[in-house]
Amino acid sequence: MLPNLNIDDLPLPTTLAVPLAADAQLQVQRGETLPAGAVLATGSHSADCIAPRAGTVSDFRRQPLANGNDALCVILQDLDDTPTPLLLPPLSATTLPQLLKRAGIVGLGGGAFPAWRKWRQQLRYFIANGLETETAAYNDAALIAAAGDNLIARVRTVAQTFAATPLLALPEGVTRVPRANDDPMLRYLPAHYSLGNERILVQHLCQLDIPAMAVAADYGVVCFNIATVLAMAAAIDERMPLSDRVITVHDVDGGIHLLRVPLGTLLAEVRHYLKQNATALIGGADEQQIAGDDAVITAATTVIHWQADAPPRAAQACIRCGACEPVCPAALAPQELYWLAQDSRLPEMQAQRLTACLECRRCDEVCPSNIGLTALFIQHKKQLAANAAEAQLIHRRQQRFDHHEQRLAQPVARFSAQALKQRVAAMTKQVSKKQ
Ligand code: SF4
Ligand code: SF4
């Protein structure tokens, strides 16, 4: 059962702390007054860091982020709510990455990956993922409801600019799009796919196997969370930068609120608005972080839980109750995987189909020991992928070496294999003498 999906706007905060990407170079000075959308910092790999509201740069300082890290932030005060469209060149296939970078568009599903870096010249599919990426999040459902009849057109606009066929993934039986249920781009999936990773979604929708560690865009598919797609549509159609995000807030009494907040809002502002006097936990069910009032809400912040002042329940030993097995949609044995993970027995975990784990967290929801099974599985899946990538690298190096040896062993027109080896050795010696 969905909660009330109306999105409320947080009143204009008094201060915003806008975090800078690691590669970003500052473009502003203390005391400068800026319009909304002004570039605060830019880097060669990140999206531009922009001012979410008009205001004055009052300081630069390190600030804790809601995800538990910290970053150098531009502090903006004397804020003004007037939106300012960006001045950009006309949109074309080649200016799209520039526009997305300048509009500060990053993934809003929790990853905050710069959208412009997914662009490729030849794409086949553009997937808009309308399935929630965190347990207890309703952000995507709320945005889909708010977009209403415009949703399909917006997804299509963005897919067209990427020159790819649009596919819109929605959770079965949860979200329906008014008057569009026979649109060919719609794909209804079991809701647990929401928490599966991009590779699983691509496999399911496009029947394409993306190797571990590879990027779907290199195989002709781009996949964006629906909030990111709508942000891109606003940048393309209205030249509006990414300045806000919608978050799901669970209050201490069990109420659920959908709030639109400017990026860079401090947690204290949300606490004050919802009159919460409790501990704030950020994130989905199994990867929650306690955050203080000075923590900054970023593009990667999806869910906040306010909990009566009690520390999160500590993990306890597995009691072999078996509750985790029947709920697993991938027919895995989470308990077995858990015991194998205790000794990092990766080959056996692989044999138990660890890589088929959808990261849906259903096992976590029923585990009375609060073990955090999914986080454990994600960690070991990453390790498996890293091992596979390393094995591939070693294989490629071996192939290059074998090829090299074979070439040297082949007699060429003027030299025997032996003479060729001697000649290569002599030339190498000459070169190193010169150096
Ligand atoms: S093991 Fe847990 S997280 Fe993985 S698919 Fe099964 S229930 Fe979901
Ligand atoms: S639900 Fe938790 S405690 Fe029960 S068997 Fe699974 S891992 Fe062990």
Per-position pLDDT tens, the chain of length 435: 677 889 999 999 999 999 999 889 999 999 999 999 999 999 999 999 999 999 999 999 999 999 878 899 999 999 998 877 877 767 777 788 999 999 999 999 888 889 999 888 889 999 999 888 777 889 998 999 898 888 999 999 999 999 999 999 888 766 666 666 678 888 888 766 554 567 778 888 888 888 766 788 888 999 999 999 999 999 999 889 999 999 999 998 889 999 999 999 999 999 999 999 888 888 875 567 788 889 999 999 999 988 876 555 677 888 888 889 988 888 899 999 999 998 888 999 989 989 888 877 888 888 888 888 988 898 888 888 778 777 777 777 788 888 887 877 775 556 677 777 787 788 878 777 665
- The number of the ligand nearest the C-alpha atom of 342 reads 2
Question: In the numeric block, which tokens belong to residue 230?
Answer: 């709508």
d(CA 156, CA 170): 15
Helix (H, G, I), strand (E, B) or coil at 126: strand
Nearest Cα neighbor of 134 from 10, 302, 375 is 302
d(CA 310, CA 318): 23
| Per-residue pLDDT, 282 | 86
Question: In the numeric block, which tokens belong to residue 83?
Answer: 């939106």
Q: How far is the CA of 196 from the centre of ligand 1 (A)?
A: 9
**Is ligand 2 within 6 A of the CB of residue 229?**
no
Q: How far is the CA of 373 from the centre of ligand 1 (A)?
A: 8
Atom of ligand 1 nearest to the CA of 374: 3
Neighbours of 256 (CB within 10 A): 15
Residue 216 · residue 123 · CB < 8 Å: no
Residue 317 amino acid letter:
A
Q: How far is the CA of 166 from the centre of ligand 2 (A)?
A: 40
Query: Which of 338, 352, 364, 376 to mutate for ligand 2's pocket (most ligand atoms within 8 Å of CB)?
Result: 338
Fill in the DSSP letter of residue 297: P
CA trace torsion 183, 205, 230, 228 (10° rounding): 180
Residue 346 · residue 383 · CB < 8 Å: yes
Residues with CB under 6 A from ligand 1: 327-330, 332, 334, 357-363, 373-374, 377
What are the residues whose beta carbons fall under 8 Å from the beta carbon of 119, sequence distance 6 or more? 96, 97, 100, 162, 217, 222
| Per-residue pLDDT, 287 | 64
d(CA 246, CA 435): 61
Paired sense of beta strands 70-80 and 16-19, if any: antiparallel
Q: How far is the CA of 329 from the centre of ligand 1 (A)?
A: 7
d(CA 26, CA 35): 16
Q: Which residues pair with 75 in a beta bridge?
A: 17, 59
What are the residues whose beta carbons fall under 8 Å from the beta carbon of 310, sequence distance 6 or more? 279
Question: In the numeric block, which tokens belong to residue 151?
Answer: 């949703």
**Is ligand 2 within 6 A of the CB of residue 214?**
no
| Per-residue pLDDT, 280 | 87
| Per-residue pLDDT, 211 | 76
| Strands lying side by side in the sheet with 125-129 | 186-189, 165-171, 125-129, 221-225
**Is ligand 2 within 6 A of the CB of residue 341?**
no
Atom of ligand 1 nearest to the CA of 358: 5
Residue whose CA is at the smallest distance from ligand 2 atom 2: 367
Q: How far is the CA of 358 from the centre of ligand 2 (A)?
A: 18
Residue 122 · residue 220 · CB < 8 Å: yes
Question: In the numeric block, which tokens belong to residue 434?
Answer: 């010169």
- The number of the ligand nearest the C-alpha atom of 328 reads 1
Q: How far is the CA of 315 from the centre of ligand 2 (A)?
A: 11
Q: How far is the CA of 350 from the centre of ligand 1 (A)?
A: 14
Atom of ligand 1 nearest to the CA of 361: 3
Residue 26 amino acid letter:
L
Residues in the chain: 435
Residue whose CA is at the smallest distance from ligand 2 atom 8: 318
Residue whose CA is at the smallest distance from ligand 2 atom 4: 321
pTM of the model: 0.71
| Per-residue pLDDT, 210 | 80
**Is ligand 2 within 6 A of the CB of residue 335?**
yes
| Per-residue pLDDT, 404 | 80
Q: How far is the CA of 335 from the centre of ligand 1 (A)?
A: 10
Q: What angle do CA 367, 370, 375 make, to 5 degrees?
A: 95
What are the residues whose beta carbons fall under 8 Å from the beta carbon of 366, sequence distance 6 or more? 323, 324, 327
> What b/e string do you get for 380-408 counting C-beta neighbours within 10 Å, with b at 16 or more?
bbeebbeeeeeeeeeeeeeeeeeeeeeee
**Is ligand 2 within 6 A of the CB of residue 322?**
yes
